Amino acid sequence: MKSSKHLNEVRRRVPRLDFLARNVVEGYLTGLHRSPFHGYSAEFAEHKMYAPGEPIRFIDWKVYAKTGKFFVKKFDEETNMQVQFILDVSPSMYYPQVKPYDMDRLNKIGFSVVAVAALGEILRRQRDAMGLSVFDDELRLSTPARTNTLHRQRLLADLEHYWGLTPGRAGTALARNLHLIAEQLRRRSVAVLFTDFWATGATMEQWIESLKHLRYKTAELLFFHVADAETEDLFRFPDRPLRFRDLETGQSLNLYPSEIRTDYVRRRREMQQRLQEAAYRYDFDYYAVDVRTPFDEVLSAYLQKRLRMH
């Protein structure tokens, strides 16, 4: 049980991330209402005049109380979906080094936290449940999905905590922790994973097995592979001797980026291709996202998945 002191701290700290999430969602919806993308939310529903013979359960009685006219919500869903967000908080997720809570220059953890908070705002408006699992070399947090306001405030406080955390030295036990999380999930849950997929201690086959397990135990799996694309995908660094340090082990290496760039990029693309092939084979959604990617793309990926499920 969390103490009242902790809960007061939660209430004091949450509005920042809550405000950011609402701004992201409202900006997204402004464009969405001008597009043909409909049918995903009771909160975002459009209205039309009630026609005799339509189910009266879709009548918006609040609108009737204000106008005296019968309107129905054109796209209304009551699904009570359960979404489990799975967040990698290993040291490599804190790359590149930026100021905490700076929206002008996000690192991987900052991008992931804001994306989760924005998706959580979507869930709040849809009255869906959200939970949060957090891992690095251990499973640090595992909170089941719920809908109540205090639960959501606690999760936002946890997200804000990990966003501003100074990471220590820890590896990424990706496969082991995904297996643990999969065992805790309910069959009808939707799992949404944010990780940079920099992990040690297992083979690619073992990592894919853990993703396969996660997909098997859930209704759907969305995997967001987060990167600073300029440096991690394309390996664009100044062409001079540089020292590279592993954020999780502390090991360092001196080299000229140009000497290994071609081979690095090839191997990076091969890894992404294997993940894409696994997604196709085991029926989950894989998205490679840059920390500069507009959050609209993350929200659209989730909402399109939701539409396909109903």
Task: Please answer whether residues 64 and 70 qualify as being in contact, where contact means their C-beta atoms are separated by less than 8 angstroms.
Answer: yes
Q: What's the pLDDT score for residue 33?
A: 52
Give the model's confidence band at 194: pLDDT under 50 very low, under 70 low, under 90 confident, else very high.
Answer: very high
Phi-psi label, residue 124: left if phi above 0, alpha if psi -120 to 50, beta otherwise = alpha
Give the model's confidence band at 32: pLDDT under 50 very low, under 70 low, under 90 confident, else very high.
Answer: low
Q: What's the pLDDT score for residue 170?
A: 80
Give the model's confidence band at 284: pLDDT under 50 very low, under 70 low, under 90 confident, else very high.
Answer: very high
Contacts of 145 (CB under 8 A, 6+ apart): 82, 83, 84, 129, 130, 131, 189
Instruction: Report the length, in residues, of the chain.
Output: 310
Give the model's confidence band at 258: pLDDT under 50 very low, under 70 low, under 90 confident, else very high.
Answer: very high
139-171 burial, b for 16+ CB within 10 Å, e for fewer?
Answer: beebbbbeeeeebbbbbbbbbbbbbeeebeebb
Q: What's the pLDDT score for residue 200?
A: 80
Range with the lowest mean pLDDT among 12-16, 58-62, 153-157?
12-16
Give tens-digit pLDDT for 133-192. Answer: 999 999 999 999 999 999 999 999 999 999 988 887 788 999 999 999 999 998 788 999
Asked if the model's pLDDT at residue 208 lies above 60, the reply is: yes
Average pLDDT over residues 16-20: 89
Phi-psi label, residue 201: left if phi above 0, alpha if psi -120 to 50, beta otherwise = left
Domain ranges for the chain, please list them: 43-76, 82-309
Q: What's the pLDDT score for residue 73?
A: 63
Asked if the model's pLDDT at residue 265 lies above 90, the reply is: yes
Give tens-digit pLDDT for 98-140. Answer: 987 888 899 999 999 999 999 999 999 888 999 999 999 999 9
The CA distance from 47 to 50, in Å, is 9
Which of 59, 68, 110 shows the shortest CA–CA distance to 295? Answer: 110
Q: What's the pLDDT score for residue 12?
A: 55
Q: What's the pLDDT score for residue 36?
A: 40
Q: What's the pLDDT score for residue 75?
A: 46
Which of residues 60 and 141 earns the better pLDDT score? 141
The DSSP symbol for 18 reads: H
Which amino acid is it at 37? F
φ, ψ for residue 16 (rounded to 5)?
A: -60, -55
Average pLDDT over residues 52-64: 72
CATH number, span 82-309 = 3.40.50.410
The DSSP symbol for 293 reads: S
Give percent above pLDDT 70 in the chain: 83
Burial category of 98 from C-beta neighbours within 10 Å (exposed 0-12, middle 13-18, buried 19 and up): middle
φ, ψ for residue 183 (rounded to 5)?
A: -65, -20
Average pLDDT over residues 282-306: 93
Average pLDDT over residues 10-31: 78
The CA distance from 224 to 194, in Å, is 5
Q: What is the pTM of this model?
A: 0.82
